[in-house]
Amino acid sequence: MEFKHVSVLLNESIDGLNIARDGVYVDCTTGGGGHSLEIVKKLKNGHLYCFDKDEEAIEAAKVKLKKYLDKITFICGSFADIKLWLNSYHVDAVDGILADLGVSSYQIDNPQRGFSYINDGPLDMRMNIKQSLTAYEVINNYSQQQLEKILFNFGEEKHAKQIVSKIMRQREKKPIDSTTELKQIVASCYPFALQNKPAIANKVFQAIRIEVNNELDELQSSLEDMIDLLKPKGRLCIITFQTLEDRIAKNVFKIHSTDCLCPPKIPKCICGHKADLKLVTKKPTIPSEEEIKSNSRSISAKLRVVAKL
């Protein structure tokens, strides 16, 4: 299957990076290479480091970016380890970092990857196919309490208890091993009039995917490293697709762009905290109506941009 992906908020994120021709940049989630291509096209003597957990994404990006391979280092690994990886290449500061946190269209559309409830496929959902934990393991081996917590916290699914209860009963009969089976279980826990809604299983699939790939913990920990890696005036662009990710980015950026973190009742600052970031976008940038029409998967995207002081 051909690796296809439409980059979301492409022009807005490239503008947000404010690219210098001799700068050093990082694309934390290379995917199909759309953002990377626009970054590297602007470089003269600069360099781009392309991260992705997915080997198939890295190989596809190498083909798309073949004209610029002398300016790119590809890293098949998680941006959660961004500092370790860059330090291994003797890089301790960069001019800009971009992280598009969405799942690629290739991953969604490929039934064998198990990310989508639209097409039948195995319960997988791994971005890194070499890791051991899969959606199958989560659904069939996690306890009732663990599953309820995941659906509540990562999916904000109001029918979590009913869904998990039905999962527990079903897996006593046989393992749940396909995306279609899981979708049917989810749908059966909703009122009959809603059971055929196309996105009825969206929250559950999102929650399981986040658990399988440890997405929120990786984002929380890596944002601090990304900020630390930026040179003065360096830019960090984060594109999120769901409220949990956006909330993490918003809160981290708010702390780093605020001088004093003392409670409001304290008349004089005693924390000594000093801002090291400036909010370039005080409110997140969202896709235009034209982009949403041409790529419906962009509808929930939000771009936040900050600059190092």
Q: What is the reported pLDDT for 103?
A: 85
Per-residue pLDDT, averaged over 147-153, amounts to 98
pLDDT grade, residue 2 (50/70/90)?
low
Q: What is the reported pLDDT for 105?
A: 78
Kindly report which listed range (24-33, 122-131, 198-207, 260-269) carries the lowest average pLDDT score: 260-269
Could you tell me whether strands 24-27 and 47-52 are parallel, antiparallel, or unpaired per DSSP bridges? Answer: parallel
Q: What is the reported pLDDT for 261?
A: 92
d(CA 24, CA 46): 5
Mean residue pLDDT of the chain comes to 95
Q: What predicted TM-score, i.e. pTM, was given to this entire model?
A: 0.94
Q: What is the reported pLDDT for 297?
A: 87
- pLDDT of 240 over the 90 cut: yes
Per-residue pLDDT, averaged over 172-195, amounts to 95
- Helices 144-155 and 202-213, packing angle to 10 deg: 110
Q: Is the dihedral of CA 275, 95, 241, 207 positive or negative?
A: negative
pLDDT grade, residue 220 (50/70/90)?
very high
Per-residue pLDDT, averaged over 288-309, amounts to 96
Residue at 228: amino acid letter: D
Residue at 16: amino acid letter: G
Q: Can you spell out the DSSP letters for the chain?
A: -----PPTTHHHHHHHHT--TT-EEEES--TTSHHHHHHHTT-SS-EEEEEES-HHHHHHHHHHTGGGGGGEEEEES-GGGHHHHHHHTT---EEEEEEE-SPPHHHHH-GGG---SSS--BS---SSTTSS--HHHHHHHS-HHHHHHHHHHHH--TTHHHHHHHHHHHHHHS---BHHHHHHHHHHTS-GGGTT-TTTTHHHHHHHHHHHHTHHHHHHHHHHHHHHHEEEEEEEEEEESSHHHHHHHHHHHHHHT-S--S-TT-SS--S-----EEES-SS-B---HHHHHH-GGGTT-EEEEEEE-
- pLDDT of 273 over the 60 cut: yes
Per-residue pLDDT, averaged over 213-224, amounts to 95
- pLDDT of 224 over the 90 cut: yes
Q: Which domains does the chain possess? A: 10-100+215-308 (3.40.50.150), 112-213 (1.10.150.170)
